[in-house]
Amino acid sequence: MADERGYAAERLAAVCRHLEEIRRDLRSVTAGDDSPVERVLAAVRDGDDVADALDGLHAVLQVGGDPWGLDGYADDGSGLRGMRPEGIRRPSPGEHVYLCPGGRCTRSWWPRRATEPVPECRMSGVALRRKRL
């Protein structure tokens, strides 16, 4: 069960990161119908389980011609989750990461500059929560 929740959390993070891109992709293959995304957003807002809504969105994307579906949006579609190219440093201890404000998905964001505005969760509109490493 924990693996299923983790998988759903990763897919939900992909939706959060790429919400507008997913909407555009859906509109191009479903004659303007982005209701699968709306079902995911409604499940998040209502505090419901999002797994079925995410599975539906994933299936619609696949039927529309994207064999990766939602998984193609995770980690920029590389499929190399957790791997980093040589020369890309990992965060040092004491840095901050920003995470899903509700702890429902695996979205994370690392500021590049101290003055960058903190992004909001595209599901709830709440700023990502800060966590010190």
The secondary structure of residue 119, as a DSSP letter, is P
Within-domain flag for 17: yes
The helix (run of H) or strand (run of E) holding residue 77 is: none
Within-domain flag for 131: no
Within-domain flag for 73: yes
Within-domain flag for 70: yes
Amino acid of residue 102: G
Within-domain flag for 9: yes
Provide the domain count of the chain: 1
Say what the pLDDT of residue 1 is. 44
d(CA 33, CA 18): 17
d(CA 79, CA 85): 13
Tokens of 118: 């903190």
**Can you say how many angstroms the Cα of residue 66 is from the centroid of all Cα atoms in its chain?**
17
Domain range holding 11? Answer: 2-77
91-119: per-residue pLDDT in tens?
Answer: 444 467 889 998 999 999 888 776 778 89
Tokens of 91: 């965060």
d(CA 80, CA 55): 21
Within-domain flag for 84: no
66-95: per-residue pLDDT in tens?
Answer: 778 888 887 644 444 344 455 554 444 446
Within-domain flag for 47: yes
d(CA 1, CA 6): 9
Q: pTM for this structure?
A: 0.61
Tokens of 8: 């759903």
Within-domain flag for 54: yes
- Does 15 have pLDDT greater than 70? yes
Minimal CA–CA distance to 14: which of 106, 110, 125?
A: 106
